[in-house]
Amino acid sequence: MNALFGLRDSIEKREGSPLQMWLKRQGANTVAKYNELLNAGGVGPVMFHAETPMKTFSALIDLENKFDAVDKFSQVTS
């Protein structure tokens, strides 16, 4: 999570080591969801899809603001 979190600002750039490129491809949805969380004030609500796109639910993340940014990032992994 730390490695992907460090790459989140360059997720659209198609450069880096093979591992960085893999992380960017696989983690793009997580970065997008984290940006959605930040745009929602850092706690949400953030919409998630369940088993199918027809099933969605919203979640609030770290209401008491006890976790650091990487921990919040890991909570929105998709």
Cβ(37)–Cβ(61) under 8 Å? Answer: yes
**Strand blocks (E) in the chain:** 46-49, 56-59
Query: Is the pLDDT confidence value at 53 over 80?
Result: no
Looking at the structure of the chain, the number of domains it has is: 1
Record the tokens describing residue 34, joined without a space: 């984290």
In terms of pLDDT, which residue wins out, 50 or 30? 30
pTM of the model: 0.85
Domain that holds residue 10: 2-75
User: What mean pLDDT is predicted for residues 8-35?
Assistant: 94
Q: Which amino acid is at 1?
A: M
Cβ(72)–Cβ(42) under 8 Å? Answer: yes
pLDDT given for residue 54 in this prediction: 86
